Structure 1
Amino acid sequence: MTISCQRHLFDIPSDICYLNASYMTPLTLKQAEVGEAALKRCMQPWTVSPQDFFDTVQPVKDLSARMFGVNPEDMAVIPSVSYGIASAAKNIKLEAGQKIILLEHQFPSNVYEWRDLAEAQEASIITVPTPENHDWTSAILEVLAEEGEAAGLLALANVHWSSGALFDLKAISVECRKNGVSLVLDLTQSAGAVPINLSEIDPDFAVIGSYKWMMGPYSMGVMYVPPRNQQGRPLEQNWIARKDSENFSQLVDYKDGYQPGATRFDMGEKSNFILSPVYAEGIRQLLEWGVENIATSIDALNMKLAAICVAAGFEPIETAYRSPNILGVHVGKRADEVLGKLKENNISAGIRGDMLRLAPHLWVNENDLDRFESVFKSLK
């Protein structure tokens, strides 16, 4: 189902055309109200009970688990993608000489940690080059087949952050399991805008930053940890993850055991009395719209944007290989010119490499499309 324009739920001025959800999504008016109430509550800390340290953040786990088809016990709360990737790396064991597979131009938070791991565990890194037609799935499967058991880890996204190319994670996961390859995912550029069932994909770890398509605040996110990895080692040792931490009067009765499920991977101060309610409200809104409906609606917008770009002589990546939420358009040496023209007309988009990255959402209306078309006609 295609969702009608939802601009009324946001504070976006009429003269702003925001095609940059892959950079950051605006919070809704409702989230601003929730955030204001949370701030006011923190002015009166005597109203915050010990149980609130647990209950405030639980909706984030419950709602995100519902979105991804897993159990709330499998979700951990994290402050950033890099935190989640570091947590995953702490629990990945490679044999000397095994290979870590990364993608060319992969987002750095899902690269630097693996460089360190390769050095620490005497592994090596293979970088899959960008396919000419952006058929990343075929390229990744080919490398996995070639490397076989020599491959120890594959770290990638669901959608390439610069081009919008989509990866078939189900097919890739099957190949990984066949050869015992650990699969670690950064789903930040797809979660909330592309349907994802983590039970079916079955990664070893999946990390999701909140401030893009999950419509959450900066400095929060979630990590999926399947039951088979829930006895692993957390990145930090915080009090609230330990067994019986609800009993504040006995916190110095130190416990070796942890809270059940993926809780041991939660960040310290996970309760975050201000950001947690704002984040939960964003996920509620996404679930109300329905992620499949969001994907259908954004894809329709991107089809219109793609047609405008083609008419002006620019080439988007092939429809067969792109995600519904991000449209990568080859602009080559004209990148600065294109971005400059867009900025002059209050159109927000991104340039990544030699590609224009367009990422509309449900706030985009016909006036936005008309403004975009006018700019691109001037670029012909």
Structure 2
Amino acid sequence: MLPNHSELPSFPPFANWKGISQYFPVQSDSVWLNYCGTTPVSTYAIEMMNLYFQEYSRFGIFAPSFAEPTIKAAIRKYIAEILHCDPSEIGIVHNTSEGINLYSHSIQIPKGKRILVLENEYPSNVYPWEHWKEKGVGLEFIPVGKTPDEFLTNLKNELEKGDVHILSLSPVHWCTGVAFDMDVVSKLCETNHTKLVIDGSQAVGHIDLDFGKTKVAFCAFAAWKWLLGPLGLGVVYLSKEESNGFKLIFKGQASVVNDSSYFPYRNEWKPAADQFEQSTINFNDWIYFYASLKMLSTLGFSRVRERIYEVAGMFKDALHDLGFTLESDSFPNVKTGILAINGHKDPSKFQPEAIQAFLKQRKITAAVRLGRLRMAPHIAIEEEHVARVKVALEEYLKQN
């Protein structure tokens, strides 16, 4: 007999984190340090998916433990808890680019105004705004600066010009790991009558975001980074204020109320955040995402963030011991889980691509971004993984 919803698999709370890597097979004989890029699946998500597939094979879309409204409500509840917002403000999409594109093409911006994005921003937060350049709206970049305070000065100078309609910002830079003070950013935007839009892919699940305090019009982010979800699933947030009068540029089968009744055709649209789900969704991904969020919720969302910082701190100490320097050395009081290695006390030894290739041969996965070697750990990393990376880097330094 298959279990009902109350008997779905549970996840242990891991009071001291010891042994949690056993739930992440990728860590069994390797070290995955690209959690801000993509995240391999956990055995807990696999277990949940297997249960769903068993039920789906017997009951089809009527799988008793996985009713679509129940799963959607649970996902929205978890995300609302993370963002400190109302579940009705949450919608589900496929990725950040889709979410920002849909929003960007559904709003109005007066001719002569500007859109600001971050210098060296990820393309998903640049390309969706480019169509506005053909409509008399400027698209410009804000210099990041060397520290968060320098960025805020650069931002203040731009906003005070009075013509910025939208600031579309990633609260954490995907290459350097620098995290910005979003409370200050939000207040600057309010003071200068600028809408704040967020690309949250490197932030949600990684740093504390409180949309109850920080005034954000819209946010989109990927599920497969710090939230440990599936590739090809994303989330949008549309504030209640921004929802007033909002209508998505596209209309699909699922855009209207009572969408399961196909006739007569309808003109009554669903609430704003729901409009982003235009038609049949990839429910398999929803189950995967639900499992990952349930796991993180069991561990405690804030506790998970602190563990990310703790593990990042272990790597930071190990890297400094070996003579490496990091971008975060310029902002030591800012919490971040992204370690961007930018040099070594012997400059000849810092060759990011060569180090990345050397580590890859030893089943250690890192990334190279903007000339930095980037490492991004998560809860699946334990002390023995840090030690393994340190040993590998020691070996590299001796050979070079």
Corresponding position of 2:105 = 90
Q: Give the 5 Å matches for 1:178-327.
A: 178-230=191-243, 231-245=245-259, 248=260, 250-270=261-281, 272-317=282-327, 318=329, 319-320=331-332, 322-327=334-339
Q: Which has the higher contact order (CA 8 A, sep 6+)?
A: 1
Q: CA deviation at 1:288?
A: 1.6
- Secondary structure in structure 2 of the residue aligned to 1:202: coil
Q: Give the letter for the 1:18 counterpart.
A: W
- Secondary structure in structure 2 of the residue aligned to 1:374: helix
Write the deviation string for residues 16-70 of structure 1: whole angstroms up to 9, x where unpaired: 1111111112222121011123334443465528994534433211221122111
Q: Does 1:328 align with 2:340?
A: yes
Q: Does 1:352 align with 2:369?
A: yes
- Structure 1 Cα separation of the partners of residues 45 and 379 of structure 2: 16
Q: CA deviation at 1:322?
A: 4.5
- Structure 1 Cα separation of the partners of residues 85 and 106 of structure 2: 21
- Secondary structure in structure 2 of the residue aligned to 1:315: strand
1:138 to 152, 157, 166: 152
- Structure 2 Cα separation of the partners of residues 179 and 124 of structure 1: 17
Q: CA deviation at 1:111?
A: 0.3
| Range that drifts further, 251-260 or 221-230 | 251-260
Flag structure 1 segments of 5+ consecutive residues without an equivalent.
none
Question: 1:114 and 1:273, CA in 2 relative to 1: closer, same or farther beyond 3 A?
Answer: closer
1:75 to 90, 94, 97: 90
Q: Does 1:122 align with 2:136?
A: yes
Q: CA deviation at 1:133?
A: 3.9
Q: CA deviation at 1:373?
A: 1.1
- Structure 2 Cα separation of the partners of residues 354 and 134 of structure 1: 20
Q: Does 1:17 align with 2:23?
A: no
Write the deviation string for residues 263-291 of structure 1: whole angstroms up to 9, x where unpaired: 12224223x33111111111111122222
Corresponding position of 2:10 = none
User: Is contact 2:246–2:272 with CA below 8 Å preserved after alignment?
Assistant: no
User: Is contact 2:36–2:202 with CA below 8 Å preserved after alignment?
Assistant: yes
User: Is contact 2:118–2:170 with CA below 8 Å preserved after alignment?
Assistant: no
1:150 to 133, 139, 163: 163
Write the deviation string for residues 67-89 of structure 1: whole angstroms up to 9, x where unpaired: 21111111111111011101221
- Structure 2 Cα separation of the partners of residues 2 and 257 of structure 1: 49
Q: Give the letter for the 1:354 counterpart.
A: G
- Structure 2 Cα separation of the partners of residues 297 and 139 of structure 1: 31
User: Is contact 2:93–2:277 with CA below 8 Å preserved after alignment?
Assistant: yes
- Structure 2 Cα separation of the partners of residues 36 and 267 of structure 1: 27
Corresponding position of 2:126 = 111
- Structure 2 Cα separation of the partners of residues 95 and 132 of structure 1: 33
Q: Give the letter for the 2:255 counterpart.
A: A
Q: CA deviation at 1:233?
A: 2.0
Q: CA deviation at 1:123?
A: 1.3
Question: 1:122 and 1:145, CA in 2 relative to 1: closer, same or farther beyond 3 A?
Answer: closer
User: Is contact 2:256–2:270 with CA below 8 Å preserved after alignment?
Assistant: yes
User: Is contact 1:134–1:321 with CA below 8 Å preserved after alignment?
Assistant: no
Q: CA deviation at 1:195?
A: 1.9
Flag structure 2 segments of 5+ consecutive residues without an equivalent.
1-13
User: Is contact 1:205–1:226 with CA below 8 Å preserved after alignment?
Assistant: yes
Question: 1:107 and 1:152, CA in 2 relative to 1: closer, same or farther beyond 3 A?
Answer: same
| Range that drifts further, 178-187 or 231-240 | 231-240
Question: 1:64 and 1:140, CA in 2 relative to 1: closer, same or farther beyond 3 A?
Answer: farther
- Structure 2 Cα separation of the partners of residues 143 and 307 of structure 1: 36
- Secondary structure in structure 1 of the residue aligned to 2:317: helix
1:38 to 32, 39, 52: 52
- Secondary structure in structure 1 of the residue aligned to 2:169: strand
- Structure 2 Cα separation of the partners of residues 369 and 352 of structure 1: 21
| Range that drifts further, 122-131 or 35-44 | 35-44
Identity, in percent, stands at 21
Write the deviation string for residues 143-187 of structure 1: whole angstroms up to 9, x where unpaired: 34442x211111111110111100111110111111111211111
- Structure 1 Cα separation of the partners of residues 116 and 59 of structure 2: 48
Runs of 4+ that moved beyond 6 A = none
